[in-house]
Amino acid sequence: MRWLDIVRRDITVTKKLYIGEEETTIELKAGAPRRLFQLPEEAKLAGLELNPR
């Protein structure tokens, strides 16, 4: 599924990472600020508020 479709439909994304023998799970829930695209610094100069991180 494409990232923009995931954001539009508020789907939770779960990713398993394997580092050596250790397994770590990362979860991005709907509405989390980490899912937003970060605006470039030039947008701030134009008067736009940057997205939270």
* Residue 53 pLDDT > 80: no
Query: What local confidence, expressed as pLDDT, does residue 25 receive?
Result: 95
Question: At which residue do the structure tokens 């509405």 appear?
Answer: 31
Distances (CA, A) of 6 to 10, 20, 22, 35, 40: 6, 29, 27, 10, 22
Query: Considering the domain boundaries, does residue 21 fall inside one?
Result: yes
Domain hosting residue 19, numbered range: 3-45
* Residue 2 pLDDT > 80: yes
Q: What is the pTM of this model?
A: 0.60
Number of domains in the chain: 1
Query: What local confidence, expressed as pLDDT, does residue 15 receive?
Result: 93
Query: Considering the domain boundaries, does residue 53 fall inside one?
Result: no
Tens digit of pLDDT for each residue in 10-48?
Answer: 999 999 999 898 999 999 998 888 888 888 989 889 988
